[in-house]
Amino acid sequence: MRKRKPNMFLRRLVSLTILGILIMMIPAMLLNNGTDTIELKENYIESTKPLAISVAKKHGLFPSVTLAQSALESNFGRSELSTTYNNYFGIKAKSGGVEMETKEYENGVEKSVLEPFKKYDSKKASFKDYGRLISTAARYEKVRDAKDYKEAITLIQSCGYATDPNYAKKVIDIIEKYNLMELDNE
């Protein structure tokens, strides 16, 4: 019986030591992940800025909206749709696309559905298609007369680009957080 007590004491001591080490490591890991996420987002913005400006200017769009929409839709270039299929805007396919689960809102209620999305050969091709879509599709005609980025993204949402009732606000938040509105004046 005496042999078991020291053995049980030793097990508890080892368990508590391991638990203590894990508890001390968790905040450091979380802090590091937050830093990595901030850095990844900033890297996406900086590396994608020239492409967004080029495409937006060519099609008479606001670069801030183009870049912020791509950031939101692709989770700053980290979504499966962007990394595997080069679709940075969540543009759906009429046929022949890749089926993926997405969140849609119907009467303000979020639901998950499978939808076909376009596949692109490159990031540049995705941006070009977005520029063509917004600048030529009849349903986005009002967008082309927008006076600023807030009006442009509000119209893009109201014309049916996204079903999320907070879509325009999310894009505006990205624009303002990263001062992307400065791109509209270049």
Instruction: Answer yes or no: is pLDDT of 173 > 70.
Output: yes
Q: Residue 165: is its pLDDT beyond 60?
A: yes
Predicted local distance difference test score (pLDDT) of residue 66: 99
Residue pair 52/127 in contact (Cβ under 8 Å)? The answer is: yes
Name the fold adopted by 4-185: Lysozyme (1.10.530)
Query: Residue range 108-118: average pLDDT?
Result: 94
104 given a catalytic annotation: yes
Other residues' Cβ atoms within 10 Å of the Cβ of residue 94: 7
Q: What is the pTM of this model?
A: 0.80
Distance from C-alpha of 143 to C-alpha of 91, rounded to nearest angstrom: 17
The position carrying tokens 């670069």 is 63
Provide mean pLDDT across the span 129-142: 98
Mark whether 80 is an active-site residue.
no
Burial degree of 9 (CB within 10 A; 0-12, 13-18, 19+): exposed
For 134, residues 6+ apart whose C-beta sits below 8 A from its C-beta are 59, 61, 140, 143, 144, 156
Q: What is the mean pLDDT of residues 94-101?
A: 92
pLDDT score for 4: 52
> What integer is the mean pLDDT of 132-140?
98
Query: From residue 113, how far is each of 21, 38, 97, 143, 167 by CA, in Å?
Result: 42, 30, 15, 27, 18
**Do residues 57 and 67 lie in contact, with contact meaning Cβ atoms separated by under 8 Å?**
no
Please state, for a pLDDT cut of 90, what percent of the chain lies above it. Answer: 76
CA distance between the termini of the chain? 81
Q: Average pLDDT in the 32-52 region?
A: 86
Query: What's the average model confidence in pLDDT over 29-40?
Result: 65
Q: What band does 30 get if pLDDT is binned at 50, 70 and 90? A: low
Which one from 129, 151, 164, 176 is the annotated catalytic residue? 129
Mean pLDDT within 19-28: 60
**Annotated active-site residue in 104, 148, 173, 182:** 104
CA distance 134 to 146: 12
Positive or negative: CA dihedral 55, 59, 63, 65: negative
Beta bridge partners of 163: none
